[in-house]
Every structure is written in C-alpha cells, then in structure tokens.
Amino acid sequence: MSAEDLFRVMSQSIVEGEPEEAERLAREALAQGIEPLEAINHGFVPGVTEVGRGFGCGEMFLPDLVRAGAAMKAAIKVLEPELVRRGMTRESLGTVVIGTAKGDIHEIGKNLIGTMLAASGFQVHDLGVDVSPAAFVAQAREVNADIVGVSALLTTTMLGQREVIRALEQAGLRPHVKVLVGGAPVTRDWAEEIGADGYSEDALGAVRVAKQLLKIAQV
C-alpha cells in the first residue's frame, strides 16, 4: 500500500472509530518506515478533523466522537514511544487534571470530558472518582497542570468543588491553574460564586472553555 493509501485508511479508522484497526495501521506505518509524527499528522489527524466536521453539521453524534477518540488513543499509544525514542514530542494543547468531587462516584460526565479533551490534543490525567482536594493539588503540582476539572452530580458533593479551589489557593497553585467545574446541579452562578474560571453544561462545551482559558484558537 502506498503511503497515500495508508494515510487514507488511517483516517478512515478514526472516522469509523475502530481502535484495533487504528492500532494495526499505526504499526504498519512504522514497519513501512513512515515517521511517527507524519503518521499522526497526515494519517490520523485528518480523521479527527473529519469527525469534527461531521459532528458540526449533524451527520455524526457523540458516540462517534467517543469512538474516534478511542481509536486515536490506540494509534497514539503505538506511535508515541517511537516519537520519544526520536527525542520528539507531540504538541499538547495543555495539561488537564480531572476527577469527581470528594464523596461523589458518578463519573460518566467526567469520563466523557476526559475523552473529548484528550481527543482535542490535551494531556489528560484522570484521578477517577471520590477525589480529595489534597489529591487534586498533589496531581496538579506533579504534572504542572494548566487546568483542573472537578465534576459533581450531587448538590451535596458540589460543595467539594469550592474545597478544591480553596486547596489550590492554599497550595499557592491558583495563579497558574485554571479551574473548570461541571455536573448536573452545577450552574453558571455557582461556578462564579466559588471562583471557578470555567463552566460548561456538556463535554464539547468544556473543550471550548478549556481552549478559551488557555487562549488557544478555536477551530
């Protein structure tokens, strides 16, 4: 298969959301001696762009985005070590630490946002559920986070979002770390009251807000 043909099927594996196929094609590209960065930028990224276009005009839906994100992740997993071996890194839009507030184990919204942010080019560190403010702080410090995202589904655990902001302030990290909050009971007013930097009702909105906060141009 020519490189052009290979790039075309790589893109297709993202559009169709087939992680195993994407992984196989990534290996094939390396076997053919294609540079990993070229495989990403000319093979897989056009697929992501196509999915974004399809979603934007209503031909594709959220599950398509999530599947595309999973396929991209599978391809990157193969290509990234090769990049590193060559002393190169894939450009990241920013580093994000996410988790659900202390006492809250509802994670689907948070997971969705993690997938969307990663698929959009952010480096995502997911702390999982029931995360203490101290754990958010520790991780944010360790990975030098640009953004911390705290999710809560309950009116009671929502208060934990404020605690995370306070803990970041106390740790002296607040000037460098933007805080994103979300979850069913969370409103714009609440986000403003607790001093969060960003708020979104859905996962795609969260990506937009994250880009705005880091002053990244929107595509």
Partner 1 sequence: MTIAVIENPKVSLNILTESEVRQIHHATLDVIESVGVRFPSAKALDILQAHGAAVDHATHVARIPGQAVEAALAKAPPTYALAARDASLDLALDGRHTYLGTDGCGVEVLDAFTGERHRSTLQDVSDAARMADYLDAIAFHWTPVSAQDRPPESRSLHELLAIWNVSQKHVQTETIVTEREARAAVEMAAAIAGGRDELRKRPILSIMQCTLAPLAQDGGSIEAGLAAAEAGLPVGYMTMASCASTGPATLAGNLVVGNAEVISALALMQMAYPGCPVYYAAAQTAMDLRTGAYTGGGPEDFLFGAATNVLADFYRVPLSMGAFATGAKEPGWQSAVDNSFSSFMAVSTGADMLLGAGLLHGSRILSYEMLVMDAEIWSIVRAMSRGIVVNHETLALDAIRDVGPGGNFLAHKHTKRHMRELWLPTLMDRRPYSAWEEKRDGAREWAREKAQAILRDHHPEPLDEKLVNALRHIIASVEAEAM
CA distance 12 to 71: 10
Q: Say how far apart CA 52 and CA 50 lie, in whole Å.
A: 5
59 binds partner 1 (CB under 8 A): no
Phi, psi of 149 (to 5 degrees): -115, 125
Q: What angle do CA 12, 218, 68 make, to 5 degrees?
A: 25
Give the range of 23-31, 44-52, 80-88, 100-108 binding partner 1 by CB under 8 A. 100-108
213 binds partner 1, rule: CB under 8 A? no
Work out whether strand 147-151 and strand 198-199 pair parallel, antiparallel, or are unpaired: unpaired
Q: Please report how close the Cβ of residue 114 comes to partner 1 at its closest, in angstroms.
A: 13
Contact status: 163 vs partner 1 (CB under 8 A): no
Which residue lies nearer to partner 1 by CB, 80 or 103?
A: 103
Whether the CB-CB separation of 108 and 82 falls below 8 Å is answered with no
Which residue of 4, 57, 58, 218 would you call a contact of partner 1, by CB under 8 A? 58
Does 81 contact partner 1 by CB under 8 A?
no
- Cβ–Cβ < 8 Å for 137, 88: no
By the rule CB under 8 A, 190 interacts with partner 1? yes
* Binding stretches for partner 1 (CB under 8 A): 58, 61-63, 105-106, 108-109, 112, 154-157, 159, 184-185, 187, 189-190, 201-204
